Copies of this chain bind each other. A is one copy, B any other.
Amino acid sequence: MNPQLSVSRRTRSTPFTNRVEAAGVTAYTVYNHMLLPTVFESVEADYWHLCEHVQVWDVSAERQVAIEGPDAYPLIQLMTPRDLSKAKVGKCFYLPLCNVDGGIINDPIAIKLDEQSWWLSIADSDVILWAKGLATGMNLDVNISEPDIWPLAVQGPKAEQLMARVFGEQVKDIRFFNIRPLEFKGVSMQVARSGWSKQGGFEVYVNDAATGQALWDTLFAQGQDFHVRAGCPNLIERIESGLLSFGNDIDYDNTPFEAGLDRYIDLDADINSLSLPALRQQKVTQKLMGMVLYSQAKVTDTVIVINGQQAGEIRSLCFSPKYQVQLAFVLVDLNHIALGDPVSVATDTGEQPGLICHLPFDFVTLGLSARIL
């Protein structure tokens, strides 16, 4: 039997929790001290529906850390090795935040709202404490807060059509990782083309609980013929799509190089970033990669073995119903494993062979063809 989650004030509910429960949520996780749905019908049924139709997700747990004031940009630049000196208002940026050792302390989407106002739409760690600690220690001229913003994601191939019905055709003009204020029932809310799936869609940064609830209801009323359902970030879809999860796949002990986030590190930029000195020196000896396991046997240990030696660790794992294999994100020791190496993992039917590959998964090169339900 799976254990239940004890819900309390500390595991904050959201303006959508009643609706999520009425829609039949069966499991949650706790993320940024807040309820985040993880399963409705089943992970696999939710997955197929997401790939085919449109879902509304309560991702209020993506909390916003608002950083405002003359030192907003300098503080954010200190926190990341990605060069934001030319960032434009109205854009979103995937941003590894790193400490002085280069370790990742979060990987938010940064949103530049105006020249002195940013949001960090965070993964699961208390970025507000890191930002406030730095700002206090350095006496920076910023205001840092966690405003009551509850993002609602609309995801799936029919997301754009549904959003256009609710917000008008103008949503189609919003390009990927762009954000702009749109009105719903007279309330202006930021709307971005983004979301934690690769099925397309938007995130609405709801800033008023009652309006957000009306928006939820309108999305369902307007989306009946699109088979709209309540959904949530989906384990299978995010692994197939190569989307990392902070705390699962990467954590404080990993640098962005180890996470394969090289393109978000501007080693040569003339910026004041806490982590760049360490990252410039780093010799990468472990790296997050993909693993394909052709067996469907239940994996019983996270250790990856090559030639009888421990050579890595499974960090996330799912069965892919589309490709009929198990897919994993694995942190591997580059001294022991290279691309294409055959490895083995322990399962309930004994040791089973796996194959190490690039991320994101390239299913064509892997010789895997998609099965359509």
Residues of A at the B interface (CB closer than 8 Å) are 1-11, 21, 25-30, 33, 38-39, 99-100, 105, 124-138, 245-248, 252, 274, 315-316
Contact between chains at A33 and B124 (CB < 8 Å): yes
Contact between chains at A6 and B33 (CB < 8 Å): no
Instruction: Give the oligomeric copy count.
Output: 2
- Looking across the interface, which residue of chain B has its beta carbon closest to that of A106? B129
A129 surroundings in chain B (CB, below 8 A): 105, 125-127, 129-130, 133
Chain B CB within 10 Å, residue with most, of A129, A130, A248 = A129
- Looking across the interface, which residue of chain B has its beta carbon closest to that of A33? B247
Q: 12 other contacts beyond A3-B21, A6-B38, A129-B133, with CB at 8 A cut-off?
A: A3-B4, A3-B7, A3-B25, A3-B26, A4-B27, A6-B39, A8-B248, A9-B315, A10-B245, A11-B30, A130-B133, A133-B137
A-B pairs, 4 with minimum CB distance: A137-B137, A133-B133, A10-B247, A30-B30
Contact between chains at A99 and B132 (CB < 8 Å): yes
- Looking across the interface, which residue of chain B has its beta carbon closest to that of A246? B10
- Looking across the interface, which residue of chain B has its beta carbon closest to that of A140? B137
Complex CA gap A97/B310 in Å reads 41
A6 surroundings in chain B (CB, below 8 A): 27-29, 38-39
A246 surroundings in chain B (CB, below 8 A): 10
Complex CA gap A100/B143 in Å reads 12
Smallest CB–CB gap between A6 and chain B, Å?
A: 4
Smallest CB–CB gap between A301 and chain B, Å?
A: 13
Smallest CB–CB gap between A45 and chain B, Å?
A: 15
A33 surroundings in chain B (CB, below 8 A): 124-125, 247
Q: Which of B7, B25, B100, B136 contacts A100 (CB 8 A)?
A: B136
A7 surroundings in chain B (CB, below 8 A): 3
Q: Which of B5, B28, B130 contacts A130 (CB 8 A)?
A: B130
Complex CA gap A10/B100 in Å reads 23
Complex CA gap A29/B10 in Å reads 10
- Looking across the interface, which residue of chain B has its beta carbon closest to that of A145? B252
Smallest CB–CB gap between A144 and chain B, Å?
A: 10
Contact between chains at B10 and A124 (CB < 8 Å): yes
- Looking across the interface, which residue of chain B has its beta carbon closest to that of A27? B4
Smallest CB–CB gap between A247 and chain B, Å?
A: 3
Q: Which of B100, B136, B248 contacts A99 (CB 8 A)?
A: B136
Smallest CB–CB gap between A63 and chain B, Å?
A: 12
Complex CA gap A130/B6 in Å reads 27
Chain B CB within 10 Å, residue with most, of A4, A127, A315, A316 = A4
Contact between chains at A132 and B135 (CB < 8 Å): no
Contact between chains at A9 and B125 (CB < 8 Å): no
